[in-house]
Amino acid sequence: MSLVTRLILVILVATTLLGVVMLFTYDIIKLEWVSFMEIQPSYKPMDKPLPVAANSIPIEGAAYIPGMGDPVNPVPADEISIERGRILYSVNCAMCHGPNGEGDGVVGGALINRPANLTGDVTQSKSDGTLFLTLSNGIEGKMPALNENLSVRDRWDLVNFMRTLEPTQP
Ligand code: HEC
């Protein structure tokens, strides 16, 4: 056997051995050599959203701190806020709670759990913060949580608008 053939043989044996060893480490040393966009932590529309990443801060600041009681309304109930609330209400709430908030929306009538009459004393006697939390978190099995669809500001505008609702019949 010539020297060159021997050398080639040694290299062949060595690489084969290395290859076998690498196969065993496959599960231990995770080399990510192929990557697909769809293989990543993500969720599809209407999937349960991923939990918020630890230590992250919402760009609008904390809306409320769990366990610290009802938040205080930071948005003054001026003309602009109420007008914004009126528009948001007609888009997001009127189908259930009705055009005047009396719980008689087109969709609301078809629900087993009738939407609340927002003009009534029961609702109006609650604090702004309580209403805000209701909009944000929804009511299990009755009303959807709207914190995903509406910004913090939107929700306070809605609270301010809700305060202007009055029963049409005394
Ligand atoms: C899918 C229909 C639906 C939509 C949309 C909806 N609600 Fe409701 N809402 C309900 C139902 C049902 C209840 C529960 C009534 C009950 O507890 O008996 C409720 C309860 C509430 C309450 C609690 C009343 C109280 O006295 O505690 C508030 C406040 C409220 N809704 C405001 C809103 C606002 C503002 C919007 C829009 C941003 C909205 N809701 C959208 C169906 C809806």
Whether residue 18 lies inside any domain: the answer is no
Whether residue 103 lies inside any domain: the answer is yes
Q: What is the pTM of this model?
A: 0.73
Looking at the structure of the chain, the number of domains it has is: 1
Residue ranges making up the domain that contains 131:
79-162
Q: Which residue has the CA at smallest separation from atom 36 of ligand 1?
A: 93
- Find out whether 55 and 127 touch, Cβ atoms under 8 Å: no
Whether residue 53 lies inside any domain: the answer is no
Task: Please name the residue that has the structure tokens 């293989």.
Answer: 39
Whether residue 19 lies inside any domain: the answer is no
pLDDT tens for the chain, 170 residues long, are: 789 999 999 999 999 999 888 877 766 776 666 677 777 777 777 777 667 777 777 776 677 777 778 888 999 999 999 999 999 999 999 999 999 999 888 888 788 888 999 999 999 999 999 999 999 888 888 888 888 889 899 999 999 999 999 888 76
Q: Which of 138, 136, 162 is nearest to 147 (CA)?
A: 136
pLDDT, position 49: 66
Burial bucket for residue 85 (CB in 10 Å: 0-12, 13-18, 19+): buried
pLDDT, position 32: 66
Whether residue 120 lies inside any domain: the answer is yes
CATH number for position 144: 1.10.760.10
Whether residue 73 lies inside any domain: the answer is no
Structure token digits, residue 24: 């065993």
Whether residue 45 lies inside any domain: the answer is no
Q: Which residue has the CA at smallest separation from atom 11 of ligand 1?
A: 115
Of 84, 112, 137, 139, which is best to mutate to test ligand 1, by the most ligand atoms within 8 angstroms of its C-beta? 139
Whether residue 136 lies inside any domain: the answer is yes
